Amino acid sequence: MWLWRGVWWSGGRRRSRLAGTALGVVLLAAAAHAQPAPIPSIFDPLSRPADEIYTLSLFVLGICAVIFVVVGGLLVTSIVRFRRRPDDDGREPPQVYGSNPIELAWTVVPLLIVFVLFLVTTRSIIAIERAAPPADALEVRVIGHQWWWEFRYPAQGVVTANELHVPAGRATFLTLESADVVHSFWVPQLNGKTDVIPNRVNRMWIEPRDAGLYIGQCAEYCGTQHARMLLRVVAHAPADFDAWVASQRGEAVHDPSVQAGRDLFQSVACINCHRIGGTVADGVFGPDLTHLMSRATIAAGAADNTAANLHAWIANPDALKPGALMPAMKLSDAQITQVVAYLTTLQ
Ligand code: CUA
């Protein structure tokens, strides 16, 4: 299935405006947010192990193409050559039964093809799944939620949401967990899909060659907002990655000019679901907001992270993302403006 979706996406580069498949539209809409990102395609791998999957896909597609041409060719030849003609006498032509060489050929050849496909696929699966983390590998815990992604960096003491920051040219090993239902972590240019399953820990790894932004998407239907469960993977040059970690490490900035908004935030139920480092807000149900403004989008890619969108989101999350589990806090417009003023200081 991933292969065919990949085909769609790849074609979308040229056909999207005409075809407008649901996935293509979702993805293009997502890519339109914030800075433009390359449209993800499995035919444009930019990382291990996506390279290996790509090579394998080409090999499998090549064999399938040969089978298609041979079978299609025989079919067309038969239809044309043995079609009904005006001078047919209506009787059946002589029938051929039990030709041993033919029977043998069409049994053995498919068997060999399946065997070769099985071997090369198994070899790739084992090579990718059994790859041991190198000594300098980064470890990140990925937790799927309805409908956003939580990223925890245990060694660095960093927690963020929806944007996975990794170093380029170095392996990142991911531990995949779910807080609720089954999701699937998929960034086509970095690796294949891996399901994110409750009460189970899955592993996968990526190693983007170059710094850049890679777009992904939850690839397992997980409820109303499955389509708006976007992933942004930002690969940094090593020094930039260290700088990013340093910027995410500390507690939230304390800006006295937004004291009213901070007091308001801490007096309502926001703090039950969100954490802001250095304050009483220590909820874990929703995204960590300590460095909210360092992220490009809100609501897992549903909107750009701007003051206006934050305002609309807090006023009525359901309008921006129908079915979102964040409730409207029933604050007045002036109160929301205060809260947004506070939130936008959280660099
Ligand atoms: Cu999470 Cu679909």
221 CB under 6 A from ligand 1? yes
145 CB under 6 A from ligand 1? no
What pLDDT was estimated at residue 95?
83
| Pairing mode of beta strands 172-178, 202-208 | antiparallel
For 317, the token pair is 């999350």
Least confident of 29-38, 214-223, 271-280, 338-347: 29-38
CA–CA dist 295, 305 (Å, integer) = 7
Determine which residue's CA is closest to atom 1 belonging to ligand 1: 183
What pLDDT was estimated at residue 33?
47
177 CB under 6 A from ligand 1? no
Please say whether the beta carbons of 345 and 279 come within 8 A: no
Please say whether the beta carbons of 228 and 244 come within 8 A: no
What pLDDT was estimated at residue 153?
96
215 CA from centroid of ligand 1 (Å): 15
Mean pLDDT of 296-315: 92
Least confident of 12-16, 61-65, 238-242, 315-319: 12-16
149 CA from centroid of ligand 1 (Å): 9
Among the atoms of ligand 1, which is closest to the Cα of residue 226?
Answer: 2
Q: Does position 188 have pLDDT exceeding 80, yes or no?
A: yes
Give per-residue pLDDT as tens, 60-113.
999 999 999 999 999 999 999 988 888 888 788 888 788 899 899 989 999 999
Give per-residue pLDDT as tens, 307-324.
999 999 999 999 999 999
For 76, the token pair is 């067309």
Amino acid letter, 81: R
229 CB under 6 A from ligand 1? yes
Proportion of the chain above pLDDT 90, given as a percent: 73
For 121, the token pair is 């696929």
Mean pLDDT of 260-289: 91
178 CA from centroid of ligand 1 (Å): 10
Task: Residue count of the chain, please give it.
Answer: 347
Give per-residue pLDDT as tens, 106-156.
899 999 999 999 999 999 999 999 999 999 999 999 999 999 999 999 999
Q: Does position 1 have pLDDT exceeding 60, yes or no?
A: no
275 CB under 6 A from ligand 1? no
Looking at every residue in the chain, the average pLDDT score rounds to: 87
Residue with tokens 């992220």: 295
Q: Does position 335 have pLDDT exceeding 70, yes or no?
A: yes
pTM score: 0.82
What pLDDT was estimated at residue 16?
39
Q: What does the H/E/C string look like for the chain? A: CHHHHHHHHHHHHHHHHHHCCHHHHHHHHHHHCCCCCCCCCCCCCCEECHHHHHHHHHHHHHHHHHHHHHHHHHHHHHHHHCCCCCCCCCCCCCCCCCCHHHHHHHHHHHHHHHHHHHHHHHHHHHHHHCCCCCCCCEEEEEEEECCEEEEEECCCCEEEECEEEEECCCCEEEEEEECCCCEEECCCCCCCCEEECCCCCEEEEEEECCCEEEEEECCCCCCCCHHHCEEEEEEECHHHHHHHHHHHHCCCCCCHHHHHHHHHHHHCCHHHHCECCCCCCECCCCCCCCCHHHCCEECCCCEECCHHHHHHHHHCHHHHCCCCCCCCCCCCHHHHHHHHHHHCCCC
What pLDDT was estimated at residue 64?
95
